[in-house]
């Protein structure tokens, strides 16, 4: 196992990537402060800072553990993740009709479905790495799908459609990098198309169907199903070019915009900082993604590249869906904006994932 001295660790660490990440986190804390000032969530910015500091500690620890050890241990992580999702259904804390968290009884709770993303990335990276660079056969595709389907079904049972959907890009990226054949990809799309009506009719709850369809015509029911999306679009549009300024958003400060510090934080940011601020924030995410792809290209082996690109897939999916959601291009699915939205589970997942990326980067000259 390769060990790093203090100077080597400092030199090989990706400080540029960390700088962009911390800048996004800082903007997130500012926006959380702006959207929660004078409300019952006024302590949220301080809690978010604690989550960020905790994430930095976890990232540093994760960067020191050889990722090969993590890959070899991924089957055990997978079993633990499935058990934790079962425990959520049995012992989880119910909130707004869903069981998604395990309550520790101290006012703190944990959402296991978030860390399952990382486990899936590791498990699929290990699986495809063992194919020894041959193209994935049909049986390989089926096995990879089964690895993801089990936790997806458990998360859908909670129910949490948004988080379950975030597992899909991990599988798609793994299949793409694993060399899925065109005919197999076409067959999967065909089967998905055939099963879609059955999933719609029997697999989704009425409120989930409303969320998926209300974005097509939110004005048809602006007081109920379309309320969130209508208020979000008003907030984004009212920001204009330069925005109204911190704590000066009429939709946000007037409490018309729902969940402005969590799911709709991008809408609040756009109202207060305008088109220029929204583009600048998206450019920061683009820089993070670009840096991650570079680290994937310089990974010491195939498995390392798979892991980093899995992180890219999750981050890109989150940003595209969340940003698309607040302007009406995507349905409202409750997917947070990474590194900005308030929440400990999502923040810790991102920093754990970044820790593994750093781990892989620091070993890029091993082979």
Domain end position, chosen among 204, 239, 273: 204
In percent, how much of the chain has pLDDT > 90?
A: 53
Cβ neighbors of 247 (< 8 A, separation 6 or more) are 34, 37, 253, 272
Q: Are residues 242 and 294 in the same domain?
A: yes
Average pLDDT estimate for 226-242: 88
Q: Are residues 187 and 266 in the same domain?
A: no
Helix (H, G, I), strand (E, B) or coil at 327: coil
Dump pLDDT digits (tens) for 331-361: 888 889 999 999 888 999 999 999 999 999 9
**Model pLDDT, residue 4:** 56
Dump pLDDT digits (tens) for 1-15: 455 555 666 788 899
Q: Are residues 196 and 241 in the same domain?
A: no
Model confidence at 171: pLDDT above 80: yes
Q: Are residues 80 and 189 in the same domain?
A: yes
Residue at 212 is within a domain: no
How far out from the chain centre does Cα 129 lie? 24
Nearest to 353, CA basis, from 29, 62, 16: 62
Integer CA distances (angstroms), 181 to 176, 280, 309, 326, in order: 9, 38, 19, 35
Q: Are residues 170 and 288 in the same domain?
A: no
Beta bridge partners of 95: 98
Q: Are residues 280 and 339 in the same domain?
A: yes
Beta bridge partners of 98: 95
Sheet holding 93-95: strands in order across?
Answer: 93-95, 98-103, 109-110
Dump pLDDT digits (tens) for 12-50: 889 999 999 999 999 999 999 999 998 899 999 999 999
Angle between helices 44-64 and 344-362 (to 10 degrees): 30
Nearest to 211, CA basis, from 196, 232, 226, 221: 226
Domain total in the chain: 2
Nearest to 116, CA basis, from 74, 158, 145: 74
Domain end position, chosen among 151, 170, 204: 204
Cβ neighbors of 276 (< 8 A, separation 6 or more) are 241, 242, 243
DSSP-derived secondary structure for 80-106? HHHHHHHHHHHHPEEETTEEEEEE-SS
| pTM: predicted TM-score of the whole model, two decimal places | 0.91
**Model pLDDT, residue 341:** 95
In percent, how much of the chain has pLDDT > 70?
A: 89
Domain end position, chosen among 204, 236, 253: 204
Q: Are residues 25 and 80 in the same domain?
A: no
Model confidence at 154: pLDDT above 80: yes
Dump pLDDT digits (tens) for 191-232: 888 877 877 777 777 776 776 666 666 665 666 667 888 889
As a whole number of angstroms, the distance between CA 55 and CA 217 comes to 39
Q: Are residues 87 and 197 in the same domain?
A: yes
Q: Are residues 138 and 239 in the same domain?
A: no
**Model pLDDT, residue 35:** 93
**Model pLDDT, residue 1:** 45
Q: Are residues 190 and 234 in the same domain?
A: no
As a whole number of angstroms, the distance between CA 29 and CA 25 comes to 6
Structural domain for 118, as ranges: 69-204
As a whole number of angstroms, the distance between CA 105 and CA 87 comes to 15
Q: Are residues 228 and 358 in the same domain?
A: yes
């Amino acid at each position: 196992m390769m060990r790093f001295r203090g100077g080597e660790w400092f030199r090989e660490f990706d400080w540029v990537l960390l700088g962009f990440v911390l800048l996004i986190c800082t903007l997130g804390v500012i926006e959380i402060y702006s959207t929660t000032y004078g409300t019952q969530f006024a302590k949220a910015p301080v809690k978010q800072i604690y989550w960020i500091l905790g994430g930095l500690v976890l990232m540093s620890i994760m960067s020191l553990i050889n990722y090969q050890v993590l890959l070899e241990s991924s089957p055990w992580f997978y079993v633990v993740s499935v058990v934790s999702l079962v425990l959520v259904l049995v012992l989880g804390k119910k909130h707004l009709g869903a069981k998604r968290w395990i309550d520790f009884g101290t006012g703190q709770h944990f959402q296991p479905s978030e860390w399952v993303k990382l486990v899936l990335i590791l498990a699929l990276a290990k699986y495809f790495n063992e194919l020894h660079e041959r193209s994935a056969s049909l049986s390989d595709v089926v096995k990879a799908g089964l690895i993801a389907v089990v936790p997806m079904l458990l998360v859908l049972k909670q129910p949490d459609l948004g988080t379950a959907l975030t597992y899909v890009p991990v599988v798609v990226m793994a299949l793409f990098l694993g060399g899925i054949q065109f005919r197999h990809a076409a067959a999967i799309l065909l089967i998905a198309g055939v099963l879609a009506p059955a999933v719609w009719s029997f697999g989704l709850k009425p409120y989930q169907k409303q969320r998926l369809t209300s974005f097509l015509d939110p004005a048809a029911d602006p007081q109920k199903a379309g309320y969130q999306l209508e208020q979000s679009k008003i907030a984004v549009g009212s920001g204009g070019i330069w925005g109204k300024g911190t704590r000066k958003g009429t939709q946000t400060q007037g409490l018309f915009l729902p969940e402005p510090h969590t799911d709709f934080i991008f809408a609040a940011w756009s109202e207060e900082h305008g088109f220029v601020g929204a583009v600048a924030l998206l450019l920061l995410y683009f820089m993070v993604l670009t840096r991650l792809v570079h680290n994937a290209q310089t990974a010491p082996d195939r498995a390392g590249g798979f892991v980093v690109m899995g992180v890219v897939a999750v981050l890109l999916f989150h940003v595209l869906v969340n940003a698309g959601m607040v302007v009406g291009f995507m349905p409202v699915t409750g997917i947070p904006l990474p590194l900005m939205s308030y929440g400990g589970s999502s923040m810790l997942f991102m920093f754990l994932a970044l820790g593994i990326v750093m781990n892989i980067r620091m070993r890029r000259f091993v082979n």
